[in-house]
Structure 1
Amino acid sequence: MALNLANAPRSEELTAAKAKIVIEDSVLKSLHNSDNLMFSKESVNTLLLVSTLVVGITFVQGFTIPGGYSSSGNDVGTPIFLTHSLFKIFLICNTVAMCGSITASIALMWAQTHDPNIIYAAMRFTLPVLGVTPTMMSSSFLAGVALTVYHVLWLRIFVYAMGFFFTVFIVGLLAPLMDVLVSYVPEPTRAFLFFSFYLLMFVSGHNFDDDWSNRWSL
């Protein structure tokens, strides 16, 4: 990933497809080790717990909608803010989060086997999905809060600002977990992914080489 973010030239002998096969083979060989397999199953169980929690939270959010339901007239039982744009954002984000978490939970159930290939495939599939679902869940929450305080201008602006910076921060934390082909994305996206990778390296306690330090000091 570091080489991709740096846009390093590719070797003629080792193409992207060959490199991907080599990485997958090394990961699968490590998973055949009993200790690594046990650690992977613990990781799967942790992800399954997270996805199950997201399912429960989004399910409850789907029925405890902001503003409640109309109790009079011809629209009895209809959400009060049904035609509001923020309510539509709330509903869409909540639905995406719930569907994604259910899909991830089902995929992780398949990973309960002792087959390293299935475990690896499930992890590759669920990590990007579980990267999207918390973002959608938080966006749904922020849209609901903004809807309830819509008539208080300064409070609404505060919620918008907090929602924007929080979403960017969450995406930055989750971006390194997603398997993206960063060599083929535009420069602004690659720069964003670089800083998310830098944050990951900083948290893990690794340091960049002197070349990187000199480059950014220019």
Structure 2
Amino acid sequence: MMKEYLEKHNISAGALFIEIFSIVFAVLLALAVNEWRQARNDQKMVNAALIGIQGEIQQNKFFLENRLPYYLQMTTTIDSMLNAGHSRGNSAHDAIPGWKGLSPPLLQSSAYQATIATQAFATMDFETASSLSRLYAFQDLYYRLVDRLMAAALNGRLSDLGKVRSAFNELYSLGSELVGVYQQMLETMKSTEPAASPESPK
């Protein structure tokens, strides 16, 4: 039946084959180009997201590093006061030399949240995504500690030297660990160049 149709319309089998091949090739080429464009756009989005996150981590590390000496100073100062005979129940915070309150750091996560919201996180390589998840989970843990201590201070539950000393010790100890995690992540990100955009299909 096909042969009769071709003969009736004076169409050669070779010409028909070339026509079909051309159509199939054009469709496959269009799909390949579209896939390449999508992969290229995805990689651009991931690279931009990583640059934003790297800047955010550097800023958070800077803020926290600036607070740690104060936390350590308060811990050692209160230790000296307690060793000198000050009562652990002494509630006069102003009597602590150098007292400036708890002075929590301003840690941000907006770049990380934007990465998740824009789906860049979903197209990121697993190792990087996993490392960032752990880092920001640790940062969230630290912020929950800060919130808990701030609430305790506002409610009068940090009214004695012993509790204030414990609060600063927690802020310093966990904060030092977080700075180490920041540093490790930054070193990893610097040693890994942003992935190049996929080459165009040949």
For normalisation by structure 1, the TM-score amounts to: 0.29
Higher RCO (C-alpha 8 Å, min separation 6): 2
For normalisation by structure 2, the TM-score amounts to: 0.31
